Each structure stands twice: as C-alpha cells, then as structure tokens.
Chains A and B, each alone.
Chain A
Amino acid sequence: MAATDREMNPESEKLQFRLDVPFPSPRDAAIALGSLSPDREPRKGGIDKQLTVTDRTLTVRWSAEEARILRVSVDSFLDNLSLVLETMQMFAPPASQ
C-alpha cells in the first residue's frame, strides 16, 4: 500500500511538518521518546509520523496527504507531549531536579 501511495502521491506532493523539542539532557529526550513512540496512529490512512532523538532533541516528522488529518495528529501529539513534560517535571527523581 505504501508503494502505491508513492506512485499516486509521491512524498514531494505530501504535506510535511517537523517539530524539534529540546530537552535538558539526552536521558530526558530518550524518556520522552520511550513514552510517545509506542502507540500507533489511530487512523492508519493518510498520515505518517516518525520520532527520533539526536543528542537531547526529540524530532517529530509528519507526512500527510490532507491538512485536516495533519492538524489532528499534530494537535493530539502536542497534548500528549505536554502531559509527558508535566509528568517529568512533577515526578523526576530528587537527584536530577
């Protein structure tokens, strides 16, 4: 199905969105990645999302065919990211605070 998508709608024709989130340390970025990467996108069609960590930055790249599908995914990711950040701030072990 991915192959057909590319023939019909090559990557260059899709909407691309990138988000970079800096963290205080590489470990913090890795924790965020660990929390945010396991769940699959609810609507399998029309959206692709990749999460990576480089040093202490979490990078998220989206590629979508339609703006509204992109908006929903980015919106919900930002809500989830906020929750993870708040959890990290409130419950980090005393040593690292």
Chain B
Amino acid sequence: MTIVIGFEGSANKIGIGIIRDGEVLSNPRRTYITPPGQGFLPSDTARHHRAVILTVLKEALEQAGLKPADIDCVAFTKGPGMGSPLVTVALVARTVAQLWEKPLLGVNHCIGHIEMGRLITQADNPTVLYVSGGNTQVIAYSERRYRIFGETIDIAVGNCLDRFARVIKISNDPSPGYNIEQMAKKGSQYVELPYTVKGMDVSFSGITSYIEEAAHKMISSGQCSAEDLCFSLQETVFSMLVEITERAMAHCGSGEVLIVGGVGCNLRLQEMMGVMCKERNAKLFATDERFCIDNGAMIAQAGWEMFRSGQVTELEDSWITQRYRTDEVEVTWRD
C-alpha cells in the first residue's frame, strides 16, 4: 500500500490531494479569483496561496482521515508554471517532507494531468490533448517519454479565452472559461475569426489580438452580441484543437483521445472532439472539473507512479522551474 500526498499551486488554484493506490482520499482546493477585467499576477497569486495553504493541508489530512505518519511520499509541482506561486507551494512540501522524514518528489505539472486522466478514465494508450490557461499540447506516449506531437507556438488556448473574458469584462467566478461557455450557448450568429493551424501546431496570438481589438466595435455597432463572439471564438479555437488532435492520431494510428487540463471541462470542446472520434471509430475520454482543473491529487498520482518506479527528488534538486517540457521526464513507470 502506498499513500502519496500531492501539492499543486502553479497558477491560481492551490490544491493538496492524497491518493492511496489509485483511490483519491481527499482533494481540497482553493481558487484565487480576480475581479472582472483583471487577470492574476504572480505576486498576488503567491500571497493568496501563502494565506490558505496550511489550512488546505490540514483539510487534506482530515478529510482523508490520516496522520502525517501514514504518508509514504510527498509530491509537489516542480514546474512548469508561475515562479512565486510555485515557490510558495514547494516550501511547504519540502518542510513537511523533512519534518515527517518522508521522501520528496518533484512532479511535472503536465504529467500530473496526464496520469490523473489515465487513472480516472482508464484509457489504455490515448492521444492526449492537454489544454489549459497555461498550456496547449498534443501528447502521445512512446518509449519512456510523453512526446509532444503538436502544441501552441505562442499562447495557450485557455489564455486566449481568459483574455477575451477580460475584454468583455465577464466574471472570473468560478472561471472565465466557464462563463464564456455559458454565454456561448446563447450565441446565435457565427462571426468569422482568424483560424491558425500550422502543420501539427496551433497559434492563438493572432485570433486573440483580432478579437481584443474588434470586440467592442462589433458589439457597440450592433453587428453581433458578446454571446455571438463567445460562441464564434469557441467554435474557431476548438476546431483548431480538434484538427491537430486528429493529425496526431493519424500519425500514431491511435484509437483513443483523452482531454485533460482546465479547458477540457468545456462540454462544447468534448462534443466537437466526440464528433471527430466517432468519424474515426475512436473513443473519447474526459474527466470532470474535480480533475481537469488543477488539483493536488493529480500531482499525488503522478508522484505515486514515479515513487513506485524508484524515483525520488533530493532536496538540492527540488528547485522549481517556470519552464519544464513534458518530454524532459523519463517515464519510468511505463514500458
């Protein structure tokens, strides 16, 4: 029996989760939500995390009904992500690992998402679409690495959505993407927006600057509503994602798609991906908001896999890093 606690705080969510052999024992989380029109900055986010992290840690232990002595390993997000929030979380992880005399494990955030998706959905060997506010990658496993087959060449799809939400000043509660999704359901007009796929990769900076500039003009001139723009933006960016996912599937001869990351909660994206999968006789896997949005249990799960295959992170190697490629990690727990 192996029990791992995982600490996550690379963006505006701070979560701590405990996993025992594939069972999620607890997974409390807090989100730093900014006023409409504002994004979250590193120092403010770190301050938010610092204020709540010890409370969340207590909750994680209490809800799991465990004492520190029961934990076998302490996992935390080494990167990628925002610097000061990552440091805040790493400090607590390192401190408790030393206090409780447990081994420490620095986990790649993207791999946390992948391993949680695999655990929850039991997908065998899927093409993974990882989409969030900070990342957009199409990943497939091959020979001990999660290989990046396609990705954004500039900003993440979630970043594009979040920035548009700021332009039209909609609420960031529970998340800007969720509110765009709700508004999109009320859209009735499709507005043509720039569509940018480059081979296996995508680009969102063009559509972002276009819509940031044009939104107010189009809405105030009565050409279309904010709901129409939400709808059109989703249709466009999600089509781009479906295209590059399909391309990777064709390369790998894959019959499964797994969507992970906060944007993966979006039901319209799941629906569009489902249509493509059906056409290819492939299966679609997705998780709900407990696990697609950043959480501690996903870090615990990746940590569990790494720990059981013999990996450990020494304190002096436990520095956090804002840039950490998914394919830098040796996937020692798979053949």
Q: Is the CB of A83 within 8 A of B98?
A: no
* Partner-binding segment picked from B182-190, B261-269, B317-325: B317-325
**A39 in complex: contacting residue of B58, B90, B92, B96, CB < 8 Å:** B90
Please report which residues of chain A, range 12-56, place their CB below 8 angstroms from some CB of chain B when the two chains form the complex. 30-32, 34-40, 42
Number of A residues contacting the other chain (C-beta, 8 Å)? Answer: 23
A4 interface hit (Cβ, 8 Å): no
Chain B contacts of A79 at CB under 8 A? 50
In the complex the two chains form, what is the Cα distance from A91 to B100 in whole Å?
8
> Which B residues lie within 8 Å of A84 (CB)?
91-92, 95
Q: A76-B84, A80-B91 are in contact. Are A87 and B315 (CB under 8 A)?
A: no
Contact assessment for A87 and B90 in the assembled complex, using a CB-CB cutoff below 8 Å: no
- List of A residues within 8 angstroms of B233 by Cβ: none
Residue B320 contacts which of A37, A39, A83, A88 (CB distance < 8 angstroms)? A39
Cβ < 8 Å to A, chain B residues 67-110: 68-69, 83-84, 87-88, 90-92, 94-96, 98-100
Q: Per DSSP, are chain A's interface residues mostly helix, strand or loop, or mixed?
A: helix
- Taking the complex as formed, is B329 at the interface, i.e. its CB lies under 8 A from any CB of chain A? no
Minimum CB distance partner of B53 in chain A:
A83
Interface of B is mostly: helix
Contact of A91 among B57, B84, B319 (CB under 8 A): B57
Determine whether B316 belongs to the interface, using a CB cutoff of 8 Å to chain A. Answer: yes
Task: Report the Cα distance A27→B317, complex, angstroms.
Answer: 20
A86, B54: Cβ atoms under 8 Å?
yes
- Determine the distance from Cα of A5 to Cα of B50 in the docked complex, in whole angstroms: 35
Partner of A35, one of B69, B95, B320: B95
Report the bound CA distance from A10 to B99 in whole Å.
Answer: 40
Query: Can you name 17 A-B pairs with beta carbons within 8 Å?
Result: A31-B95, A31-B99, A35-B91, A38-B94, A39-B90, A39-B320, A80-B88, A83-B53, A84-B92, A84-B95, A87-B54, A87-B95, A87-B96, A90-B58, A91-B100, A93-B68, A93-B69
| A contacts, CB < 8 Å to B | 30-32, 34-40, 42, 76, 79-80, 83-84, 86-88, 90-93
